[in-house]
Amino acid sequence: VRWLAYSRTQPGVDPRVLYKLLTTLENTWPVEVLSREEEEWLANSFNIFLDYSLQLIKKHRILFPPHHRPSMSRLEHLLRCLGLLSSMKAYWKVCPFNKEVRGEIIQSVKKGTQEWYEDQHKGMAG
């Protein structure tokens, strides 16, 4: 329940908080028995979080400058959240048809890098 509340309230919730919530959810998952509706809510929250995170990763060069320690820490914890999510029993139970998270991250980095390069090239040409 806490994961649902935090993951839906604000997109800017500190990834360290979300990581702790995901860890708690994973540790209590075999004990938790969810209704079909609750599983749908959980799946929806995972998908929204994943989509939002992939958008952030796509813009990582802008949002997470390498010489800004707080930004790099935020990116690190965001990636930890995604790594944990990808291995969670709860995630695979409620989202069995999703693609591998790691592949999605790689695609976001590639696409973001290509878009960033094109924007830089336009700026130099224009």
Q: Does the pLDDT value for residue 46 go beyond 90?
A: yes
Q: Quote the tokens at residue 14.
A: 């500190």
State the pLDDT confidence band at 103, using cuts at 50, 70 and 90.
very high
Q: Which residues contact 75 (CB under 8 A, 6 or more apart)?
A: 57, 60, 63, 64
Report the predicted TM-score, pTM, of the whole model to 2 decimal places. Answer: 0.88
The yes-or-no verdict on residue 123 having pLDDT over 80 is no
